[in-house]
Structure 1
Amino acid sequence: MSVVIVTGSAGLIGSEAVDFYAGLGYKVVGIDNNMRQTFFGEEGSTHWNRQRLESSFGSKYEHHDVDIRDFDAICKIFQIYGTDIELIIHTAAQPSHDWAARDPLMDFGINANGTLHMLEATRQHCPEAVFIFTSTNKVYGDSPNRLPLVERETRYEIAEEHAYKDGITEDLSVDQNMHSLFGASKLSADILVQEYGRYFNFKTVCFRGGVLSGPRQSGVQLHGFINYLMKCAMTSAPYTIFGYKGKQVRDVIHCNDVIAAFHTFFSNPRRGGEVYNLGGGPTSNISMLEAIAFAEQITDRKMEVTYTDEFRAGDHIWYVSGLTKFRTHYPEWNIRFDVKAIMEEIVQANQARWSVAK
């Protein structure tokens, strides 16, 4: 029996992984205790997505309502399947740098200690398995803000002659900058994943994500930029821009493209703790102002937008992922969805789930 373990299995990337691998015939074991509801309230709950997975896949999907901070409970799950486990996709996290400042102990316990628990369970029970970790571009802290940025009418851009003109690569320093507490806990986890790969020669990989998006995300103000924006546009809820004149730029990648990258690595894994930036790259990025304008266009309604000069500490002014390293190692992979297609799909997929104001 071939087994895939997915943490955060009812979240955006986790549930896409369940869909994909259960669809391929794998036994998928999901670990998710709906902490997103604890972080963000009922609006952030992923219970509806867990129910969808359980009803869709039956015995192909086995759900465990377990906290990744509980090492004994994690080990019990790994003990059941042992070396039948071929792949671990670790997406469970506290995902908001705003929320992390409210409870740094919980944030670090989930992001750093929880990742260590998953790695050690892998070492003890299935050391030949592939271990995929969803890291974040926040591991670079505010280093991207020191790049030579040019202010345009609707966005910031990097100077055309700069080495990062096609996106930020993995050589950007993670040191001597402000990360936010969330960025620090995720960087700790990122380094642990690398170290288990290097020290034990495991097949581990960190994918440092840009904005990961898709139609089934439970987007909230503190996490899930594109999904939350589209929800506000569809329901006529007010939306707030935080700083940088709304010209801050993010690259956005569809969850299907993320899972395609995961599976490409899994199909031909590399040992030694690989690290890849993974986002929409130069073909799928957008500023806040541009995203609002497009949201209004595709929903045919004017949004209620307010602006505050307060920006989030450690936040990026301009971040576009450089994809050259991953594409060099895996030339068969490429971006299939751009940000506008993602936004349109969110609208189409959520007509029933979100009440569209007239």
Structure 2
Amino acid sequence: MKLIKTVAILLVTVLSSGALSAKEQVATLAGGCFWCVEEAFEQLEGVREVVSGYTGGTEAHPTYQQVSSGSTGHTEAVQVYYDPDVISYAGLLQKFWRIMDPTDADGQFVDRGQQYRPEIFYHNDLQQQVAEASKQWLQQYGPFEQSIVVPVTPFSEFYRAEEYHQDYYKKNPLRYKFYTFNSGRYDFVERHWGETSGVDYQRFTNDNPGGMTQADSRYQVPAKARLKEQLTPMQYRVTQQDETEPPFDNAYWDNKASGIYVDVVSGEPLFSSADKYRSGTGWPSFTRPIRPDAVVRREDNSWFISRTEIRSRIADSHLGHVFADGPEPTGLRYCMNSAALEFIPLSVMKERGYDDYIADVTGKADSQN
């Protein structure tokens, strides 16, 4: 019995020190202040432990004071110990993109300098391939207009930070909350990603780092420069600059034809005519999107009021807002801008490749137009 207890104690000690268990893998990621990065990853299912530390520099066994001075070449980072049968490396990277600013190579939010630079440190060829593919996905489909500048670098050495830095958010909750809420990180994430707590990180696989379905891959998003050429000035201002078109003076506010409404940028399906109704507002209004995950909801506090903005999932186009004053069966009013939409008549849906959505037009109850 004494021997069993000794082995158990040793096992707990090894695991808590950041060593790998039998089937675990490790990811090393830098996204600014390691307190914040550690907390974010420890919420994920499949992650056993996250260790804060330093990597990417030349100084052996550096102290926090040395690293924070910016003289060691190290950056604050974390090592994530995870079960690849529960969450993939690609899933971890999707979380990573959603907690930091991948367009800023000189620090993160209020923390400036190379000691806070973002970086992905890969441990093997697979991690390198997945990281590069995920970064490419983010550049093409992510919510950022600027270039993604996070380096993908081979891992060399990781030095565990001082004990008071480990699980800082648990040990010092008040100080941690004060820091995070004033750092600008939360505001940045909300502005670019909206509510992300519902994202299923387990749907991202190493073979498909962006979680794109075969249908999603059909919908391409042109570069910003090309969009200015392809869209009308009003379409560009609405979809890319979050503006609102005038009511009663737009293409679809009184359209009664059967068909679907797709994103004018990407062509991804958004709404069905079967869910369209006359709201009296002068904008096309719907009781629901064509599929539950067709749109993304974000908090919008512009104009001194709190609203829920609606954006397309793939192109990230600004579409409009949703309000709780609509008719049954949902009680919602998805108030959209015609300039963000293209209407595909039922008669040409098959020809245009929208066969899978015909039932969403013909199989639902008659619209309230």
Shared fold, TM over 0.5: no
Larger helix percent: 1
TM-score, normalised to structure 2, is: 0.28
Q: Which of these two proteins has the greater Rg computed from alpha carbons?
A: 2
By relative contact order (CA 8 Å, sep 6+), the higher-ranking structure is 1
